[in-house]
Amino acid sequence: MNAQNVQLVLDDGGRENSVGLTGGGQFLWLNRFTPNASDFPFDLEEVWILFPSNLGINVGELVDIYIWEDTDGDGDPGTAANHLSSYNNAAVQFVDDVTFSQYSIPPVTLNGPGDVLIGVVNRTAGIANNTFVAALDQSSALQRSWLGLYVGAPADPPTLPAAGAWDLIDNFGAAGNWTVRGYGSQGTGCSWLSVNTSSGTISPGNTTNVQVSVSASGLSNGQYNCSLNISSNDPNNPTVSVPVTLNVGPVSVDDSKNKLPTAFQLFQNYPNPFNPTTTISYQLSELSNVELSIFNLTGESVSTLLTTIQAPGNYQVEWDGRDEMGNQVASGVYLYRIKAGKFIQVRKMILMK
């Protein structure tokens, strides 16, 4: 992958003000970026957010991050925005007015030209009365930062324009720029990824096969990332983003054959989000007593998938979304944990029905 050479920045790195709801609740704050035409195509790979200090925001509280593209050229994100990707349950990392919380997201390919929209919803961060979660740089007002208020909690993803109130933050009496940034890399776009069909109709309850192909022709050695975005008329999941990674390198028969892992590691489950099953992979560098367990966000045990002794190597375990009693669990965020000797690692996964 190329070094990150596309920077989407409106703020100057400082915070002069913060915005929140005096009565508490969730809302959307969104920046509209217009990269140069020469920047496209590029992959958006990171989102940075600066959170304010001493205003009721705590490390570990959660926000959701959303990416849209808007290519109609009218400057209003509410008229023709196309949702591309969501990054849910991003935990606040810093609340010191200086250090940005940095989130590596599944790469989103922007082919442009047009606007890139990055929005944030405070799901648990700053939802109490008189807390002010959205930091604002007021050194200059570029009229690219929008505020969206909803009747109740914003949907996932939020609708644009917002149903309650929708306007530039300048017109709410606080001119400035949200401290929300994006960083990405120019590259080949997704020319190496193709599908055999771009649209179609599926009757309720039925399935269809879509062929996805990759080609390394003309690519240099390295890692290439893309997102396969699937849109539908499902009101609960209108867009599903599937990250795709292609590793291009020299072929070697003996390079990794029978090579044992040199470290313990728990990998991200795949697919994620998933319904109804997902695969959890991990590696062991030595003989270990292994326990693989599922928990909900309150820490309650949902299921123990594995308790055994295993030799060094690579392993996979499938979870079918059921608890110890065989009952299908509800949609939501779950934690999976591996304990192998003294090694412990926990990751998140999303069951989406």
> Which DSSP state fits 259?
P
231 part of a folded domain: no
| Cα–Cα distance measured from residue 314 to residue 309, given in angstroms and rounded to the nearest whole number | 13
Amino acid at 278: T
Q: Residue 231 is encoded by which pair of tokens?
A: 């849109």
88 part of a folded domain: yes
256 part of a folded domain: no
What is the H or E stretch that residue 128 is in? none
Return the closest-CA partner of residue 286 out of 268, 310, 270: 310
Q: Specify whether the CB–CB gap between 47 and 121 falls below 8 A.
A: no
Summarised one tens digit per residue, pLDDT across range 276-297 is 999 999 999 999 999 999 999 9
**Kind of pairing between the strands at 134-137 and 17-19:** antiparallel
The residue from 153, 185, 217 where one domain ends is 185
Same domain assignment for residues 27 and 151: yes
250 part of a folded domain: no
201 part of a folded domain: no
pLDDT of residue 216: 80
Q: Per-residue pLDDT for 112 more than 80?
A: yes
| Cα–Cα distance measured from residue 319 to residue 250, given in angstroms and rounded to the nearest whole number | 34
What is the H or E stretch that residue 101 is in? strand 101-110
Provide the edge-to-edge strand list for the sheet that holds 177-178. Answer: 17-19, 134-137, 177-178
Same domain assignment for residues 134 and 272: no
Q: Residue 16 is encoded by which pair of tokens?
A: 């002069």
Domain assignment of residue 152, given as a range: 6-185
Q: What is the mean pLDDT of residues 181-197?
A: 76
The set of residues, in sequence order, having a beta carbon less than 8 Å from that of 197 and lying 6+ positions away, is: 210
Summarised one tens digit per residue, pLDDT across range 285-335 is 999 999 999 999 989 999 999 999 999 999 999 999 999 999 999 999 999
Same domain assignment for residues 45 and 174: yes
Which pLDDT band, with edges at 50, 70 and 90, does 189 fall under? low
Gyration radius (Cα) of the chain, Å: 22
The set of residues, in sequence order, having a beta carbon less than 8 Å from that of 156 and lying 6+ positions away, is: 64, 86, 88
Q: Specify whether the CB–CB gap between 311 and 284 falls below 8 A.
A: yes
Amino acid at 277: T
Same domain assignment for residues 128 and 276: no
% of the chain surpassing 90 pLDDT: 66
What is the H or E stretch that residue 78 is in? helix 77-80
Query: Residue 148, Cβ neighbours under 10 Å: how many?
Result: 23
For the chain, give the mean pLDDT: 88
pLDDT of residue 3: 45
Q: What is the mean pLDDT of residues 119-145?
A: 94
Q: Specify whether the CB–CB gap between 321 and 277 falls below 8 A.
A: yes
| Cα–Cα distance measured from residue 87 to residue 237, given in angstroms and rounded to the nearest whole number | 14
Q: CA–CA distance from 2 to each of 45, 47, 119 (Å)?
A: 11, 17, 25
Summarised one tens digit per residue, pLDDT across range 13-62 is 999 999 999 899 999 999 999 999 888 888 898 999 999 998 889 999 99
240 part of a folded domain: no
pLDDT of residue 328: 94
The residue from 136, 155, 185 where one domain ends is 185
Residue 231, exposed/middle/buried by CB under 10 A (0-12, 13-18, 19+)? middle
CATH number of 333's domain: 2.60.40.4070
Return the closest-CA partner of residue 109 out of 26, 30, 187: 187
What is the H or E stretch that residue 77 is in? helix 77-80
Domain tally, the chain:
2
Q: CA–CA distance from 104 to each of 88, 166, 183, 317 (Å)?
A: 12, 28, 10, 26
Return the closest-CA partner of residue 86 out of 127, 52, 44: 44
pLDDT of residue 247: 82
Same domain assignment for residues 167 and 286: no
pLDDT of residue 321: 94
CATH number of 142's domain: 2.60.120.820
